Amino acid sequence: MAARAIEIGEAGEHVAATIAKYRQGRGWDQRYLAELVTAGGRPMSSSVLGKIESGARRVDVGDLVAIAAALDVPPARLLPGDETTEPDPVSATAAPGAVRAQVLDDIAALGDLEVLDATAPTLAAIAVRLAAEVDAPVSLGSSLQGLSKELRQVLAELRSLSPEEPDDDDDLADLASPD
């Protein structure tokens, strides 16, 4: 008797779509999220994450918890029935603040990131996330000064990959500076 394929169901489809929504909202590619999940102690490849997001693979509880932790959301946020009206504070789809808007412009000016270096897309995703955190309300508890410093370091590393000389006019440093 052949094994019957297990359908993912409505709940699984919701979880898959919600994971993809949060990942994309942060400006992350699947590889970056899979790296974060792995760094959190749950080994996961971008291929497995892609299967989860497409609904080709079911999500077990351990994966759900690890993915939620990497996305910095409670696991319940990924499940159906969580009708939270709170916006995702890290989401890149929220109205962009001044720092995030400038970071996105700077990254766009670099052109095709894959051509620069294999690490460039990951650095860009980190920069966008840090910029969103800099723009976020102070109530998130993050140190604006620390975030700004980290953002400037990530962007400097990203710009160093570009063969062109950066402009002397560093608008981002002004925007990201808490002074």
Q: How far apart are CA 152 and CA 78, in angstroms?
A: 32
pLDDT digits (tens, 9 = 90+) for 38-51: 888 889 999 999 99
pLDDT for residue 19: 94
Q: How far apart are CA 75 and CA 61, in angstroms?
A: 9
Q: What are phi and psi of 101, to 5 degrees?
A: -60, -40
pLDDT for residue 175: 47
Can you tell me which residue has the tokens 């412009």?
105
CA-nearest of 43, 42, 23, 21 to 33 is 23
Q: What are phi and psi of 62, to 5 degrees?
A: -60, -40
From the centroid of its chain, how far is CA 84? Answer: 20
pLDDT digits (tens, 9 = 90+) for 1-30: 556 667 888 999 999 999 999 988 888 888
pLDDT digits (tens, 9 = 90+) for 89-148: 555 444 556 777 787 778 778 777 777 777 777 777 777 777 777 776 554 455 667 777
pLDDT for residue 129: 73
pLDDT for residue 102: 82
pLDDT digits (tens, 9 = 90+) for 64-93: 999 998 888 889 999 998 665 455 655 544
Q: Both tokens of residue 174?
A: 């002004």
* Residue 6 or 53, more confident: 53
From the centroid of its chain, how far is CA 152? Answer: 18
- List Cβ<8 Å contacts ≥24 apart for 38-42: 39/70, 40/66, 40/69, 40/70, 41/66, 42/66
CA angle, residues 143, 89, 87, in degrees to nearest 5: 155
Residue 158: exposure state from Cβ atoms within 10 A (0-12, 13-18, ≥19) = buried
pLDDT for residue 168: 46
- List Cβ<8 Å contacts ≥24 apart for 106-114: 106/155, 106/159, 106/172, 107/158, 110/158, 110/159, 110/161, 110/162
Check pLDDT > 50 for residue 176: no
